[in-house]
């Protein structure tokens, strides 16, 4: 261990971290330390202190929410995996960073955790979770036929350990299927013991083929769905919270009645926290400024490309703008750029998640005798 302490002793004396403003900056810096980092991985040294503690601060300058995994994939090659740890809005940034990586002797760079082989197993105490002792049951819903709802079955699942087992099985599937497939292909996942189900159990080894078949059928079903929204009707909605605060929304009521919602399965939202009056509403000047930002986002996320502007909500100091999307990558980049540009003026947060049937927007549909919002 003293070898590694000596090798990196100079890092403690660095007066400041280099300014990393681009993918090229990051990889140019990494190249200067690649040999040292390779030794840490090759000799199974102190990954945190002698490797990740050096890389993470530079990585954070590019984008928050990216993480590192590393190990030897063969006798001579170290692998560095850049992972968003399952957060959809950060996937594209891991992919872009790795796509910009140069060739560096002894290194392989990978975006997102790759799928493991079928021999992969996960040990948790005395319990071993592997493909051979897992089964699955697909659940079908007549009202949501495109949802992929999976129950994973393991003989040791009980009411007492369900949360713990569910977490362990999630970790297993993340590696077994690969991070991208696990995050994007399954809409709902539950864990059960074999005595809780009456359906026939299918071996987990069939799950990859099942998911690929469902994805192929989904793409074929919705490949031609590209609605144009220029003639759609928008509705202005008002409501009042239980605390007496007003809520205002403008939503595409034509789009909310569309029967092909699942063709745009990703809901993307961005929130702008603004200085509010006593009712939680923005000033007229703030409303105008927010409208201009919204127009600018609409010019980058257009319906012909698969990004449908659903509407906006203003409530309790926050303006939230919603899109329904065919893909999650471009909204991630657009929202991230706007968040950086206006970070000094607003508190901004954004996210992207799968919602094939737009249940997020059910609250904007007419409901009898509904006088309050939560």
Domain-ending residue, one of 189, 222, 255: 222
Closest CA to 124 of 168, 158, 160: 168
Q: Are residues 126 and 88 in the same domain?
A: no
User: Exposed (0-12), middle (13-18) or buried (19+): which is 250, by Cβ within 10 Å?
Assistant: middle
CATH number, domain with residue 252: 3.30.70.100
Residues 282 and 186 in one domain: no
| CB burial readout 50-86, b (16+ within 10 A) else e | bbbebbeebbebbbeebbeebeeeeeeebbbbbbbee
Residue 206 lies in a domain: yes
Q: Along the 374 residues of the chain, how does pLDDT read in single tens digits?
A: 232 233 333 344 444 677 899 999 999 999 999 999 999 999 999 999 999 999 999 999 999 999 999 999 999 999 999 999 999 999 999 999 999 999 999 999 999 999 987 777 888 777 789 999 999 999 999 999 999 999 999 999 999 999 999 999 999 999 999 999 999 999 999 999 999 999 999 999 999 999 999 999 999 999 877 778 889 999 999 999 999 999 999 999 999 999 999 999 999 999 999 999 999 999 999 999 999 999 999 999 999 999 999 999 999 999 999 999 999 999 999 999 999 999 999 999 999 999 999 999 999 997 654 444 44
Decide: 348 and 320 in contact? Cβ < 8 Å.
no
Q: Which of 52, 78, 111 is the last residue of a domain?
A: 111
Q: Which domain holds residue 172?
A: 121-222
Buried b (16+ CB within 10 A) or exposed e, 162-178: eeebbebbeebbbbbbb
Same domain? 240 vs 208:
no
Residues 192 and 218 in one domain: yes
* Shared domain check, 198 and 245: no
Would residue 270 count as lying in a domain? yes
- 247 and 185 assigned to the same domain: no
216 shares its domain with 241: no
Last-in-domain residue among 85, 111, 137: 111
> In this structure, are 90 and 141 located in the same domain?
no
My answer on whether 94 and 146 are in the same domain is no
Same-domain check for residues 69 and 138:
no
């Amino acid at each position: 261990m003293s070898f590694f302490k000596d090798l990196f002793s100079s890092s403690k004396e660095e007066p400041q971290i280099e300014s990393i403003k681009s993918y090229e900056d990051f990889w140019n810096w990494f190249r200067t330390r690649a040999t040292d980092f390779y030794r840490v991985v090759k000799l199974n040294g102190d990954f945190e202190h002698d490797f990740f503690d050096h890389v993470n601060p530079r990585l954070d300058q590019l984008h928050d929410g990216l993480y590192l995994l590393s190990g030897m994939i063969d006798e001579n090659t170290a692998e560095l995996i850049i992972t968003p740890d399952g957060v959809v809005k950060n996937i594209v940034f891991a992919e872009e960073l790795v796509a910009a990586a140069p060739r560096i002797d002894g290194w392989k760079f990978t975006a997102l955790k790759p799928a493991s082989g079928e021999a992969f197993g996960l040990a948790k105490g005395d319990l071993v979770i592997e493909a051979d002792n897992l089964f699955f049951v697909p659940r079908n819903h007549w009202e949501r036929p495109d949802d992929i709802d999976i129950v994973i079955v393991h003989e040791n699942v009980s009411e007492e350990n369900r949360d713990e087992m569910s977490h362990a099985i999630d970790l297993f599937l993340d590696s077994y299927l690969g991070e991208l497939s696990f995050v994007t292909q399954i809409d709902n996942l539950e864990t059960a013991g074999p005595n809780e189900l009456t359906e026939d159990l299918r071996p987990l080894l069939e799950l990859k083929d099942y998911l690929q078949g469902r994805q192929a059928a989904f793409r074929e079903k919705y490949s031609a769905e590209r609605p144009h929204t220029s003639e759609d009707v928008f509705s202005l909605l008002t409501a009042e919270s239980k605390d007496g605060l007003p809520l205002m929304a403008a939503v595409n009521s034509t789009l909310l009645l569309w029967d092909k919602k699942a063709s745009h399965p990703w809901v993307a939202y961005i929130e702008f926290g603004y200085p509010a009056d006593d009712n939680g509403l923005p000033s007229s000047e703030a409303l105008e400024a927010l409208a201009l930002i919204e127009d600018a986002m609409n010019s980058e996320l257009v319906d012909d490309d698969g990004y449908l502007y659903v509407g906006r909500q203003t409530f309790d100091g926050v303006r939230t703008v919603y899109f329904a999307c065919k893909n999650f990558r471009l909204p991630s980049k657009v929202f991230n750029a706007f968040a950086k540009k206006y970070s000094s003026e607003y508190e901004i947060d954004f996210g992207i998640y799968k919602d094939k049937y737009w249940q997020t927007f059910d609250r904007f549909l007419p409901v009898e005798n509904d006088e309050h919002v939560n």
